[in-house]
Amino acid sequence: MTEYEKMGGTYRRTGDYILPNLEIATGEDSSIGVWAERHRRFLKSQHRVRYYNLLTAGKLNTYLAELDQAAENLFACLVQSLAEKDGVTEKLKAAAPMEWVQKMNNIRNQATEIVNAEVVYA
């Protein structure tokens, strides 16, 4: 008897192979966003063991949804604080819309790099 069978696992025969009967837990309806999708790809390519442990335990989507929420909150806070620091206001938006767009694009790019470094690829 294998350790898998001792823990209640079963096998099935498929052609010449004997495969374990594995199911991923259902009920995880958490949707993931762009940050979580980036982290999922990162885990799958760089940290396979952790990825497959989360996947087979049925915790991957929950983990990714929490990470996505944290990353989104950090991104929003960073954009707001960087905009205040650089003086990017609604007045600037009304007076010089193209300058406002340029500055906001720079701020969003900075915030994206920070979130990627601190949350997504950490």
What does the pLDDT look like over 74-104, one tens digit per residue? 999 999 999 999 999 999 999 999 999 999 9
- pLDDT of 65 > 90? The answer is yes
**Backbone torsions φ then ψ of 20, nearest 5 degrees:** -75, 145
- How high is the pLDDT of residue 101? 96
Helix extents (H) in the chain: 3-6, 34-46, 48-57, 60-86, 90-95, 97-115
Q: Which two tokens stand for residue 2?
A: 């294998």
- How high is the pLDDT of residue 18? 87
> What are the sequence ranges of the domains in the chain?
3-120
CB–CB of 33/76 below 8 Å? no
pLDDT tens track for 48-59: 999 999 999 889
d(CA 109, CA 90): 20
pLDDT tens track for 35-49: 999 999 999 999 999
Q: Which residues pair with 17 in a beta bridge?
A: 14
